[in-house]
Amino acid sequence: MTTSHPTGDVLYAEDMTATATSAPETLHNQTFIDLENEVAAHNYNPLPVVVNKAEGIWVYDVEGNKYLDALSGYSALNFGHRHPALVDAAKDQLDRLTLTSRAFHNDALGPFCRDLAALVGKEAILPMNTGAEAVETALKIARKWGYTVKGVTPGRAKIIVMAGNFHGRTTTIVSFSDDPEAHDHYGPYTPGFETVPYADLAAIEAAIDDDTVAVLVEPIQGEQGVQIPKEGFLPELRALCTDRNVLMIADEIQSGLGRTGTTLACGYEGVEADMYTLGKALGGGIIPVSAVAANRNIMDVITPGTHGSTFGGNPLAAAVGHAVVKLLATGEHQAHAAELEPVFREQLEGLMGKGLVGVRVRGLWAGVDIDPEVMTGKAACKALMKKGVLAKDTHGSTIRLAPPLTITKDELLMITDAVAAVVSEAIASN
């Protein structure tokens, strides 16, 4: 393929890729960064690394440098890059059938939905593609349940959301985001949402009225820097929602599917939400796959023609999602994440007062607050990159660490050792 761009230069995409494998020394990260800056929208501010191959926990840039992926595509790569079972499932499906639309049945969707429903303890699955679509779907189901089952006055359904939330980028979802970058200048905004402080049970209780159909909660707020609610909040919220006949929707798109040491983050405290939104890792790092899981009494408010998606539930996505479910069904990855949690915590907490001012760990997921006097989160991520570890900053001085669940203890220590070295070097140079 040949691409012309505004300067009049002609770039040969395949040539670049071919050169990447045949003569890495002739390629520079900056060449690709410059091209991207010129021709792609500037809606991200990535680290200056251009990845062109990956395996397991490791990624390689076009200059041949090797990095440990400590972000895992924001948990979309929970099983590492190109997990053999997932790649095999995708290849097998690619050779047979990729897309039917939902105008026809396909033989991959039923088995996927059956096993995913069993994995998360629900009766039915509504498959979509991106996380935001799953959240939108859950909001629609909750509103429709409110009108047709609970008996809320038409047009008045209210959904309670939490401050600091991140549920995606659609216009409805950003309507109730309190992050100015995500929210501002995208109005007019969708009404029907009330925001309360995160994990504040009294505030939720006070906000519930006769029009309330649901409470939407991230069991752990990932984008907010892995904020973990105090123990007891989720069970109390569950009891409150049951008591007031309000649906509890748990957005497990980032927290779910093994990341926290249990299949779902809600499971840590034995809580069962009414609806789960799932995404990211469900696609195995191969294809976008998301879903809403609920029991029939809720899911069945959706009837033919009332909701859908051209790609949702396509055979390729279903085959990969099914392979992901099979990996999780053994419990092995969850157990591994739970087993490494104390090591992860101990290593990071050991840096408290030595460059770190906050550490939150659940499973193989950590939010690390760097002392702003020492360095910014972005500077820390750039320094980590130079040490061969890729991570992502959020909210100024926090970095999120979420390595693939396939990581070994020694490899995990490479991450924490790199964090230790980065902050101690920054302190020494200040």
Q: Is there binding between residue 136 and ligand PLP (CB under 6 A)?
A: no
Site for ligand PLP in 292-311 (CB under 6 A): none
Q: Reduce the DSSP state of residue 50 to 3 states and report it.
A: coil
Contact 289, 317 (CB under 8 A): yes
Full DSSP string of 253-268: TTTTTTTTSSSSGGGG
Full DSSP string of 146-180: IIIII-PPTT--EEEEETT----SSHHHHHT---H
Residue found by looking up tokens 């020494």 in the block: 428
Task: Kindly tell me which of 65 and 175 has the beta carbon lying closer to ligand PLP.
Answer: 175
| Positive/negative CA dihedral, 341, 346, 347, 350 | positive
Q: Is there binding between residue 74 and ligand PLP (CB under 6 A)?
A: yes
Task: Kindly tell me which of 394 and 416 has the beta carbon lying closer to ligand PLP.
Answer: 394
**The only residue of 80, 127, 146, 168 in contact with ligand PLP, by rule CB under 6 A:** 168
Task: Kindly tell me which of 44 and 104 has the beta carbon lying closer to ligand PLP.
Answer: 44
Build a one-symbol-per-residue string for 246-275: x at contacts with ligand PLP by CB under 6 A, - elsewhere: -----x-xx---------------------
* 8-state DSSP, 101: -
55/224 Cα distance (integer angstroms): 28
Smallest distance, Å, CB 174 to ligand PLP? 11
Q: Is there binding between residue 135 and ligand PLP (CB under 6 A)?
A: yes
**The only residue of 20, 59, 117, 132 in contact with ligand PLP, by rule CB under 6 A:** 132
Task: Kindly tell me which of 161 and 412 has the beta carbon lying closer to ligand PLP.
Answer: 161
Q: How many residues bind ligand PLP (CB under 6 A)?
A: 15
Residue found by looking up tokens 């906000």 in the block: 207
Build a one-symbol-per-residue string for 218-247: x at contacts with ligand PLP by CB under 6 A, - elsewhere: x---xx------------------------
Cα-Cα-Cα-Cα torsion 392, 168, 311, 107, nearest 10 degrees, comes to: 80
Contact 76, 67 (CB under 8 A): no
Task: Kindly tell me which of 81 and 280 has the beta carbon lying closer to ligand PLP.
Answer: 280
Q: Which residues bind ligand PLP (CB under 6 A)?
A: 74, 130-132, 135, 166-168, 218, 222-223, 251, 253-254, 279
